[in-house]
Amino acid sequence: MLVQITPPAIEPVRLQDARLQVRLTTDDPVTEDALIKLYISAARRHAEAYTGRSFITQRWRLVLDGFPRCIELERGDVQRIDSITYRDMTGATQVVAWDEPTSSVQRSSDGTMVADISGGVARITPAFGCVWPVAVPEIGAVAVAYTAGYGGEEDVPEGIKSWILLRVARLHADREEIVDGQAPSSYLDGLLDPYSILRA
């Protein structure tokens, strides 16, 4: 089970850029701003779900029922592994800390685990010559906390920002799900395909 711990603090698209995209000028009242902010947030969440990525820096927790052969972390790009916690056979909670990443590799502070964070889906395995610790065989016995995202607004690819602006303009212009008897076209989603982990 994947749970968001900390949502992004900002959006990848600025309000003033969205106002320009929907053709609002400085003379227009700001009463539309709250609605445009909702559109930006909705468009970003759709794009993240469609691509399987995190755009602005955010934190996630992956909860597992045990240690698999390889732990895969979705919603990349993963910036770093923050910690792994697990319940041992006595029921006590153990915490595995992690060193800072070196290039695209990160190792646990005790040297028993290694992570490849170079791609959209990060992978964690035991280090060479090591095995996973023994976790109690219960539901939710293992949790991985990690930080993911491109970084700040300036780090998000322009193609993604363009898609969000186009989607905001579409939402602003067509405020109903069905317009003139037709559902909105999904052709815009193809613009996100180059950034998609799920459709690679």
DSSP string, 7-22: --SS-SS-HHHHHHHT
Helices (H) and strands (E) in the chain, counts: 3, 9
In this structure, the answer to whether residues 79 and 33 fall within a common structural domain is: no
Residues 126 and 91 in one domain: yes
Domain count, the chain: 2
Residue 7 within a domain: no
Q: Name the residue with tokens 């317009």.
A: 179
Going residue by residue through the chain, which has 200 residues, state the pLDDT in tens, using 9 for 90 and above.
Answer: 999 999 999 999 999 999 888 887 666 666 788 889 999 999 999 999 999 999 999 999 999 999 999 999 999 899 999 999 999 999 999 999 999 999 899 999 999 999 999 988 999 999 999 999 999 999 999 999 999 999 999 999 999 999 999 999 988 877 655 444 444 556 566 778 888 886 55
The model's pTM:
0.87
88 and 43, same domain (yes or no): no
Query: 132 and 63 in one domain?
Result: yes
At residue 183, the pLDDT reads 46
Could you give phi then psi for residue 68, rounded to 5 degrees?
-80, 180
Q: Say whether both 121 and 49 belong to one domain.
A: no
200 in a structural domain = no
1 within some domain = no
Domain, as residue range, for 85: 58-148
- Asked if 128 and 65 sit in the same domain, the reply is yes
